[in-house]
Structure 1
């Protein structure tokens, strides 16, 4: 039955109640309201009496004119299922294993992901971007912003692609283009590691069957940096740091030289992490995920006391943004120039490297090498440097010819030879 009510605003409201269905709409005149109500009543009576052939012959315009798919559903007519009856029968005949093995192309040919979802079937239809968003939502490690930026790089490459549609050829082609652009193997490997993490996550969630990234090998023929300062270079660098326009560069370099701590670890160090009683510093969030203690030499403690603060702020804060660490690249670069230590590889006439460039990380290498030269055990060096693997420590240790000769001589004596 239809009811026409006059509203306070002068408009007219049409209410239709038939077969458990309630419809209402507001019009500017009583005539329009009555026409609409009569039409809805007519459609409610007509739709259930249409046979399959008549229903399939309806166009989208016809359906909208008769009240839309919602009205058909309310009357027990599922147009979506009716139109896709043959496809739904084919989908329902597939086993769970068959469904998970469908390619994106096969899913599209069988009616698309929406049809599978309507049938309540689980398929691998997620895009790379959707999986990345899910991956990041479960990220509980440090540097969320950094990981998000690294993930965004791959989203620009594979974003709207279905995960199972990305194959090893796509990945190999993109990595080859990165190489052609001149990106270093180490840079590519870092980006590849992030992509591998996403695929590992997708594998754990059942979105893919294999982590294809693991099968792509990138040749890394770059030589590891093992530049160590000699005594004269070290003294020149210390003097240049003392004269730097940034008054804490000398402190920072002293700490790096005598503790072997990483640049990021030192730059994130806070006054609250330093114990002036025990001459130590506490690193609670290191690269390998474990905490460790730094032991400061007297010369470091003297310099720390010059700047000592009672709050918990950063020891090396930015002058503009104290909540962020100092960007000391210009001060470091100037100090190297003053010390006559090259920031670039010095080459021979045949383009081979005569002398490697010196980086801030080389201070860490020098720390490990100095411990090795002084006869410290490899496990001691690993502990002080914060290495999780002894293999990592081995990269920093080099036995000179005289040391090797001495070791062999001592072994011969031990054997009474």
Structure 2
């Protein structure tokens, strides 16, 4: 365990899960197919086998961070996905928290993001940086929906599953950034996740 085998096994399992979910979502595999990665994950969870890194260990070096920020504007991700990843970077919130965010959760005067639904089921307020406020202000200028990030196709909040599909396509087309941490964290849709 100290050599990181469990963490690497978790990385492989998450990648397999993302690939199966993408294949099911795009119709390459029949929708009644049972994703074996989910079955394995559930079995390991019941056995209390930990497959993730310790809290707070997902950190990029300054060089990796610069590489990511140089890559993101010109990559083939849709603008909404880029904005979610930037807000995740600026705040340390989960991408799923931004996918579900409503404008009523943002207080521009106090510069806070009120997260009502969290993985730990505890509400919290996140202090927003000037970078985050500026980005949110520019998004709000062209947004007429209650949710900050809405799918153009469904009219519903953009889902984490969709973000996973976007990043999986980049990996498939060999257009994903070649930073190990970023590639894994984006495909798992937990870039700089807290907790």
Q: How far apart are 1:331 and its partner, in Å?
A: 3.5
Q: If you compute each CA radius of gyration, which structure gives the higher value, 1 or 2?
A: 1
Q: Secondary structure at the match of 2:79?
A: coil
Residues 207-258 of structure 1: per-residue CA shift (max 9 Å, x gap): xxxxxxxxxxx26264537442221221222222222441123321222123
Residues 347-387 of structure 1: per-residue CA shift (max 9 Å, x gap): xxxxxxxxx944432422xxxxxxxxxxxxxxxxxxxx4x5
Instruction: Tell me: higher relative CO, structure 1 or 2? Use CA pairs within 8 A at least 6 residues apart.
Output: 2
Alignment of 1:1-400 (within 5 A): 186-190=41-45, 192=46, 218=47, 220=49, 222=51, 224=53, 226-245=57-76, 246-309=78-141, 311-326=144-159, 327-333=162-168, 334=170, 337-342=175-180, 357-359=184-186, 360-364=189-193, 385=194
Q: Which residue of 2 aligns with 1:29?
A: none
5+ long unaligned stretches in structure 2: 1-35
Q: How far apart are 1:321 and its partner, in Å?
A: 0.8
Instruction: State the TM-score, normalized to the length of structure 1.
Output: 0.31
Q: How far apart are 1:339 and its partner, in Å?
A: 2.4
Residues 275, 185 of structure 1: CA spacing in aligned structure 2 closer, same or farther, 3 A cutoff?
A: same
Residues 189, 319 of structure 1: CA spacing in aligned structure 2 closer, same or farther, 3 A cutoff?
A: same
8 A contact 2:102–2:147 mirrored in 1: yes
In structure 1, distance between residues paired with 2:105 and 2:121: 17
Q: Secondary structure at the match of 1:293?
A: strand
Residues 357, 283 of structure 1: CA spacing in aligned structure 2 closer, same or farther, 3 A cutoff?
A: closer
Residues 187-223 of structure 1: per-residue CA shift (max 9 Å, x gap): 3244x4xxxxxxxxxxxxxxxxxxxxxxxxx262645
Residues 286, 357 of structure 1: CA spacing in aligned structure 2 closer, same or farther, 3 A cutoff?
A: closer
Residues 294-346 of structure 1: per-residue CA shift (max 9 Å, x gap): 211111111111111565522121120122324122443438944212489xx
Q: Secondary structure at the match of 2:146?
A: coil
8 A contact 2:91–2:132 mirrored in 1: no
8 A contact 1:274–1:280 mirrored in 2: yes
